[in-house]
Chain A
Amino acid sequence: MVRSARAACLVVVALLISQAGLALADSFLPKDFDQLVGEAEEIFVGTLTATSSSRLPTGAIVTDLTFSGVRAIKGGSTSDVRTVRILGGTIDGVSMKVAGIPDFEVGRTYLLFSKENGRAIFPFVGGPQGVFQIVQDSTTGTESVFDARGNPMIGPVGGSATPDRQAVTSGGRSGPPVSVDIFIQAIRDRLPQ
């Protein structure tokens, strides 16, 4: 029964994902879930364990994010550590911050759709659209998926990889966030077999 329910759930998620609909982009090109999976050079889950800022020869500040305990979903090396470079950071009291780029928090676990790492300003597919947080319920131990800002993913709805943000409007609707297992399975379903 549980098995059939899970299978049915995946079908529903897949149907939702496949629908055309909202996309996010004023500062970043809009990407749907298929594009997130298809365009990512690497998809992985990892916990941010260190950050280090430095300057490029142009003077711009960049920050290297080190993720440990990496679980690879698509591409990448066999190492369990990844370093991702993003534009922005702080050195000696001087800060460079790009509006709209989410903050990363050491100790937090992320699911990332990475591309152009080391070459692009924010090397994730669709910018923030390719960044998700994984949060473990302290009571049940269940890992759930939230977007880059910590808004719950109420399913990758309407063709967008982002949650339906109307669902988190204060006083509005709500629902349990998607479990990381279901989310990853939806990714795997889109990878070449």
Chain B
Amino acid sequence: MNLVAALAVMVLVLASAGEAVAFVVNAQPPQNRRTMNLDLLPTTNFSSLGYGVTSWNALAQAALAEWNAAGIGNPPDHQFFTVRVPAVTGNPCQPDGINEVRFSSTVCGLAWGDAIGITQRWSVNGRVVETDVLFNSTADVPMNAYPGPVVNATSVGGTLFDFYRLALHEFGHAAGLDHPNLDGGQSVVAVMNSGNQAVGGPQSAVDHLQADDIAGAHAIAWVGGGLVAAVLPSSRSVQVGTAATAFATIINLSSGVATGCSLAAGTSVPATFTYQTTNPATNQLTGTVNTPTNVAAGASQSFVFAFTPTAAIAPTDVVLNFACANAGPAPSNSGLNTLLLSASTTPIPDVVALGATLTSDGIVNVPGATGTGVFAVATVNVGASGVITASADTGGVPLPVTLSLCQTNPTTGACLGAAAATVTTTIDANATPTFGIFVTGSGSVSFSPATNRIYVRFRDSGGVIRGATSVAVRTQ
């Protein structure tokens, strides 16, 4: 077959289209629900609005509501997207914890080029922490809002873009979907296709979610899946053969019952693992050991779990899998729902530490960019006596803060010595020393409680961590 014939065959082949379910889920699903900050101010580049609403924010909110109606994940979470109230001005050029949605004439100082809208995913150490959606507000991209087939712009020519379906498309990215046609190389009718808003194109009238979009939304294994979880205390240090226990709570954020919820060790350590439900008011055991339970919509369930080491364990941040048969697992965040576990063949200190902030919400607020925030840490050594050095850090996250701490009088809270980078003291068995931690800013710290945290760690004379706790930090 010569080249002409080959091309002719290609043309004939191309004329017989097929169709398939073709959604493409991004490899990095969201860690949790998305609270979007709608910051779509009126702009002179835009004229009349369709869809029965009168503001870009209202259109965006309607697009979010359409995705919620479809549901994200399995089971479908119908509250995946929420709108931040009140709206603030976020910075899409840095991971500040605000999922910004706005028009912009540039993207972080760069020109739009041929882009009309983008979704930026910020991730830290592989975890998606922020998703920003920007729309091109330059005059090169005429935009309006209207249902039905897209039309040409009378002003500058080319497509008059429909904001609503563009917002639907970008929010689909925010939920965790990619392009079926580009990223999947497939053919299907979908809002998530790239290419719908071409005048005269075969899908130019697709202005609402299609079956493939909804099937894709349900296939998003977003990490939270409607579950969140917490662990206290966040560290235990025991002798081999002794159970290291801690409490955990699962909250079911979804609108349906989470069934068969259980705990499991997600990190391999030489230890046996058990868990059991508890009464959160009394901490007394309920149910039976290692038996999954249901958690009602919007409800929580408390547990106690135990690792009993069978050999020595160097300090290990053990991940716990909080999962239900129809939801989860809950996102894992070090210091929030992991357990720093160590075990020794000889008696060792076991400093159980709990942080206390002024607002009793686990957040230390730094007043202004250069102010100083404080919080306290109460401890009890339930292990052997030992010389312990306390220190504070940001867990490797570069934050514009300087940290110092002191041991305090448990009654008055006053420092027993000058605050410094570390404090070394002997903590006897069953002693309950307290500490004050000072957080001085040299810049603004955004509110991202899963990422921006202050850790207080207690190390023995060998430098081994025998206790730890943490609080979130932000500038206010």
Interface set of A (CB-CB < 8 Å, partner B): 1, 5-6, 8-9, 12-13, 16, 20, 22-31, 56-60, 62, 87-88, 92-100, 115-116, 119-128, 147-151, 154-155, 157, 164-176
Contacts and interface: CB of A to CB of B under 8 A. Distances in A.
B185 A149 contact: yes
A144 B205 CA distance: 35
A26 B196 contact: yes
A169 B20 contact: yes
Contacts of B170: 27, 99
Contacts of B115: 27-29, 120-122, 127
Contact of B18 (A13, A20, A166): A166
B150 to A, nearest CB: 10
Contacts of A119: 110-111, 113
Contacts of A8: 3-4
A124 B112 CA distance: 11
A30 B3 CA distance: 29
A133 to B, nearest CB: 13
B281 interface: no
B444 to A, nearest CB: 12
Contacts of B292: none
B120 A98 contact: yes
B116 A28 contact: yes
A27 B113 contact: no
A125 to B, nearest CB: 7
The binding surface of chain B is classed by DSSP as: loop
Enumerate the 3 nearest inter-chain pairs by beta-carbon distance, A residue then B residue, closest first. Answer: A120-B113, A60-B108, A59-B94
Contacts of B182: 24, 100, 128, 147-149, 165
B93 interface: yes
A9 B9 CA distance: 12
A73 to B, nearest CB: 20
Interface string B196-231: 111011100000000000000000000000000000
- Determine the interface band of chain B, counting residues with CB < 8 A from chain A: 35 or more
A4 to B, nearest CB: 9
B411 to A, nearest CB: 42
B18 A169 contact: yes
B186 interface: yes
A9 B114 contact: no
B162 to A, nearest CB: 10
Contact of A100 (B19, B91, B173): B173
Contacts, number: 220
B107 A87 contact: yes
A40 B431 CA distance: 73
A122 B9 CA distance: 35
Given A25-B159, A29-B116, A121-B107, A171 B18 contact: yes
A173 B194 CA distance: 21
B183 A27 contact: no
Contacts of B14: 154, 157, 164, 166-167, 173, 175
Given A9-B4, A12-B4, A60-B93, A167 B118 contact: no
B85 interface: no
Interface in B60-114: 91, 93-95, 107-114
A171 B185 CA distance: 12
19 contacts: A8-B4, A12-B8, A25-B114, A58-B93, A59-B91, A59-B108, A60-B93, A93-B124, A99-B26, A99-B118, A100-B118, A100-B182, A120-B114, A122-B113, A127-B113, A154-B10, A168-B186, A169-B22, A175-B14
Contacts of A123: 113
B431 to A, nearest CB: 38
Contacts of A116: 111, 113
A171 B20 contact: yes
A165 B194 CA distance: 12
A98 to B, nearest CB: 5
B194 A26 contact: yes
Contacts of A57: 109
B445 interface: no
Nearest to B172: A99
B107 A168 contact: no
B295 interface: no
A172 B187 contact: yes
Given A122-B113, A155-B10, A27 B124 contact: no
B297 interface: no
A146 B16 CA distance: 21
Nearest to B95: A94
A96 B243 CA distance: 42
A5 B3 CA distance: 6
B237 interface: no
A16 B108 CA distance: 39
